[in-house]
Amino acid sequence: MLRSVVDTSVLVSACLSRGGVPAEVLRRGLDEDLDIVASPTLLGELEAVLSRPRFSDRISPTQRAAFLKVVRSGVVLIDDGPPRPGATRDPADDFVVSLAVAADADAIVSSDKDLIAIDGDPIPVATPRGILDILDCVEHLLPGDPAFV
């Protein structure tokens, strides 16, 4: 099973578009195909972003609370990692890299250009579609699958 940090923007997209690729990433995490790791900082940022006035016409306070409850109950919660200033081009994204390193994550899942730009150092970054492709590939190579034998 892959262990990943799913960036706030992917989680917000999952909340706002339940039929999209980010929502599928979250579903796969909740279904235990993917360990999603989060921290208090990531969950706080998620709540703050979903509380912005620009989302008030797309998600009600009740829906937001329910979504946050589902996310909190489905992630592996760990403490924030030690600061890694300069880990990304955007200092506001550095905590995601710190979390991924602290979690010994296999990947960061993000569509944020500043995270994608880290180019796998110190953690590989996959887009939501990319992580689904990886999960599908791993599923096909499990023992017992004719392709594995």
- DSSP per-residue letters across 26-79: HHHHHTTSEEEEE-HHHHHHHHHHHTSGGGTTTS-HHHHHHHHHHHHHHSEE-P
Average pLDDT of 17-26? Answer: 95
Q: Note the pLDDT of residue 140.
A: 66
Q: For residue range 37-77, what is the model confidence (pLDDT) as tens digits?
A: 999 999 999 999 999 999 999 999 999 999 999 999 999 99
Q: Domain coordinates of the chain in residue numbers?
A: 2-140
Give dist(CA 138, CA 85) in Å, integer. Answer: 33
The first and second tokens of residue 127, run together, are 């887009």
CATH classification for the domain delimited by 2-140, as one of 3.40.50.1010, 3.90.650.10, 3.40.50.1220, 3.40.1280.10: 3.40.50.1010
Tokens for 123? 């953690």
Nearest residue to 25 (alpha-carbon basis) of 39, 43, 12, 10? 10
pLDDT grade, residue 142 (50/70/90)? low
Q: What is the pTM of this model?
A: 0.90
pLDDT the model gives residue 147:
47
13 has pLDDT over 80: yes
